[in-house]
């Protein structure tokens, strides 16, 4: 082959190669223009669809504060573990490691994933500790993710349990004030647009769509210090006397605010694993009982208001019992003749029954109804009972007689405290509230000032050396109150060996600020 032909063939191949390279370069340039200019919006949308997400930003519940501004319920950020069953199927060999870290049974995990295989979001464990969240993150298992949530924490634990209640795992109120003011406390979640990587981890926040709105604070009337003291003493009394249960309520007389409300047995609202549902109810507002002798001050107040008696009016209680129809009303002994103050001091059943029978039934019923018996206090607490007060046209003499010393009607500890606040507040009834109030609410006059003060003076005698409650005296303070011992009703009558011990009192008796009711159920 000649040199000329060889050279021509070489130049032809070079030109062909240059043409091919030029075409390839042109194709690349065209593709770049196509991707960057012509199809940019479409491709950007496709990329965003795979990596750009709108995620919810959780909002915490509002704090609950006591009247001094001390926190009683706080929401703290926690992490929850969730999985995508469709992704984790590729890493099933790592599930035992995850089960070990989360302290979960492997069978439970497999059953959970099998039941919800078609979903993309399944909670595996909620509200874990920060240390545990770090361990889960370090496993780097495909399809396993962490999500921030909030968990409710109660610094006072069981001391405040029955007043505050608790929230469920989704932070919704289930009992107590958490339930009653759920709408007020609940926050509004926000939203933001983020970029996630292939492992669904957020790598960049693009924009905030809607900021989260935390729930509003709730300042309640409870005084944390008084609550603690009441709880400590009530628990000690239950343990000392081997009682079945107990309740105590303390009211601010001038404002109608609940300063303390405690019950036994209680529970720890921070421990979801060891709660007993029979301990949840707030006995001070839900449980009713016959008030017994604690109702006698109102029987006497009705008689004084009717003008039939004065504190010094004499009543003969001899021979220590009274026949009413086919029934007999008895005193613990024959007190003989004594004035109305003595009837209160000795808690004479015969004396108050004689006073009640001398009045029209409507007079006693009207007094009991006006001070709040037979209706809820209007506190707004979930599950509050109205008790029972039957209307007067149905009363026979024996029913009027037993009602005079607190049988045949039912009340709650909170109702009884509200009624005693009338005597303490010179005859004014103020609405009961669990919320802190800046202003003193308007009161309704349901008893004359004179009668309220006369009854209060008589109740001071109950705590004297000849009264039924000398142990309730407080050194340095004038205290007024009334005891009650109520047999518990059973099928066919009343039990002789099962009863409730009650005390309702106020201090200082000269110008009361506090009213307290204590109910001990079945002390041994």
pLDDT value, residue 197? 58
77 versus 278: which is more confidently predicted? Answer: 77
DSSP H or E stretch at residue 521: strand 514-521
The pLDDT confidence band at residue 31, using thresholds 50, 70 and 90, is confident
pLDDT value, residue 4? 57
| C-alpha of 356 from chain center | 40
Q: What is the 3-state secondary structure (H, E, C) of 470-504?
A: HHHCCCCCCCEEEEEEEEEEECCEEEEEEEEEEEE
Sort strands 493-507 and 480-490 into parallel, antiparallel or unpaired.
Answer: antiparallel
- Average pLDDT of the residues in 490-507: 90
pLDDT value, residue 2? 58
pLDDT value, residue 252? 97
- Average pLDDT of the residues in 253-282: 91
Count the neighbouring beta carbons within 10 Å of the beta carbon of residue 363. Answer: 18
pTM: 0.85
pLDDT value, residue 196? 61
283 versus 58: which is more confidently predicted? Answer: 283
The pLDDT confidence band at residue 47, using thresholds 50, 70 and 90, is low
Length of the chain: 524
Least confident of 144-158, 291-305, 417-431: 144-158
Torsion of CA 279, 285, 290, 291, to 10 degrees: 120
- Is residue 291 within 8 Å of residue 352, measured between CB atoms? no
293 is catalytic: yes
Percent of the chain with pLDDT over 70: 90
Q: What are the CA-CA distances from residue 407 to residues 133, 264, 493 (Å)?
A: 59, 24, 12
Percent of the chain with pLDDT over 90: 62
Cis bond upstream, residue 265 (ω within 30): yes
Active-site residue among 221, 247, 266, 293?
Answer: 293
Sort strands 64-65 and 218-219 into parallel, antiparallel or unpaired.
Answer: parallel
- Is residue 311 within 8 Å of residue 454, measured between CB atoms? yes
- In whole angstroms, give the CA distance from residue 392 to residue 360: 9
Compute the mean pLDDT over every residue in the chain, rounded to the nearest whole number.
Answer: 89
- Average pLDDT of the residues in 44-73: 78
The domains of the chain, with CATH numbers, are 56-219 (3.90.1310.10), 227-521 (3.40.710.10)
pLDDT value, residue 38? 60
Least confident of 8-17, 219-228, 282-291: 8-17
The pLDDT confidence band at residue 448, using thresholds 50, 70 and 90, is very high
Q: Which single residue is written with the structure tokens 């010393």?
A: 405
The pLDDT confidence band at residue 34, using thresholds 50, 70 and 90, is low
pLDDT above 80 for 52? no
| C-alpha of 115 from chain center | 35
- Average pLDDT of the residues in 315-342: 94
């Amino acid at each position: 082959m000649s040199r000329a032909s060889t050279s021509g063939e070489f130049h032809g191949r070079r030109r062909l190669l240059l043409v091919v390279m030029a075409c390839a370069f042109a194709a690349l340039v065209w593709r770049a223009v196509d991707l960057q200019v012509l199809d940019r919006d479409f491709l950007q949308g496709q990329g965003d669809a795979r990596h750009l997400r709108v995620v919810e930003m959780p909002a915490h519940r509002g704090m609950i504060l006591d009247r001094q501004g001390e926190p009683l319920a706080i929401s703290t950020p926690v992490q929850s573990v969730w999985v995508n069953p469709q992704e984790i199927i590729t890493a099933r060999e790592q599930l035992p490691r995850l089960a070990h870290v989360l302290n979960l049974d492997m069978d439970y995990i497999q059953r959970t994933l099998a039941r919800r295989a078609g979903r993309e979001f399944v909670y595996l464990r909620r509200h874990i500790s920060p240390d545990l969240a770090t361990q889960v993150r370090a496993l780097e298992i495909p399809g396993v993710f962490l999500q921030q949530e909030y968990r409710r924490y109660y610094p006072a634990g069981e001391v405040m349990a029955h007043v505050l209640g608790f929230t469920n795992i989704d932070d919704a109120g289930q009992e107590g004030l958490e339930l009653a003011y759920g709408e007020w406390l609940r926050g509004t979640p926000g939203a933001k647009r983020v970029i996630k990587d292939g492992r669904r981890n957020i790598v960049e926040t693009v924009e905030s769509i809607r900021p989260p709105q935390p729930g509003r604070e709730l300042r309640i009337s409870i005084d944390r210090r008084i609550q603690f003291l009441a709880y400590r003493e009530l628990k000690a009394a239950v343990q000392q006397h081997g009682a079945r249960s107990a309740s105590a309520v303390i009211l601010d007389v001038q404002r109608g605010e609940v300063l303390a409300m405690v019950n036994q047995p209680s529970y720890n609202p921070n421990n979801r694993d060891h709660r007993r549902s029979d301990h949840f109810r707030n006995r001070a507002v839900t449980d009713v009982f016959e008030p017994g002798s604690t109702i006698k001050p109102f029987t006497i107040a009705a008689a004084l208001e009717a003008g039939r008696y004065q504190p010094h009016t004499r009543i003969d209680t001899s021979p220590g019992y009274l026949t009413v129809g086919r029934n007999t009303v008895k005193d613990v002994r024959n007190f003989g003749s004594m004035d109305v103050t003595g009837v209160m001091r000795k808690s004479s059943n015969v004396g108050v029954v004689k006073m009640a029978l001398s009045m029209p039934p409507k007079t006693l019923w009207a007094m009991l109804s006006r001070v709040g018996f037979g209706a809820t206090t209007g506190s707004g607490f979930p599950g509050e009972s109205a008790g029972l007060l039957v209307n007067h046209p149905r009363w026979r003499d024996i029913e009027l007689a037993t009602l005079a010393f607190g049988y045949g009607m039912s009340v709650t500890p909170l109702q009884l405290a509200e009624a005693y606040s009338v005597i303490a507040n010179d005859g004014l009834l103020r609405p009961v509230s669990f919320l802190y109030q800046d202003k003193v609410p308007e009161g309704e006059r349901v008893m004359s000032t004179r009668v309220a003060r006369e009854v209060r003076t008589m109740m001071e005698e109950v705590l004297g050396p000849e009264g039924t409650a000398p142990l309730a005296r407080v050194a340095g303070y004038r205290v007024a109150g009334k005891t009650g011992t109520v047999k518990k009703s059973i099928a066919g009558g009343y039990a002789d060996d099962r009863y409730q011990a009650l005390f309702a009192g106020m201090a200082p008796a000269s110008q009361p600020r506090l009213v307290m009711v204590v109910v001990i159920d079945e002390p041994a």
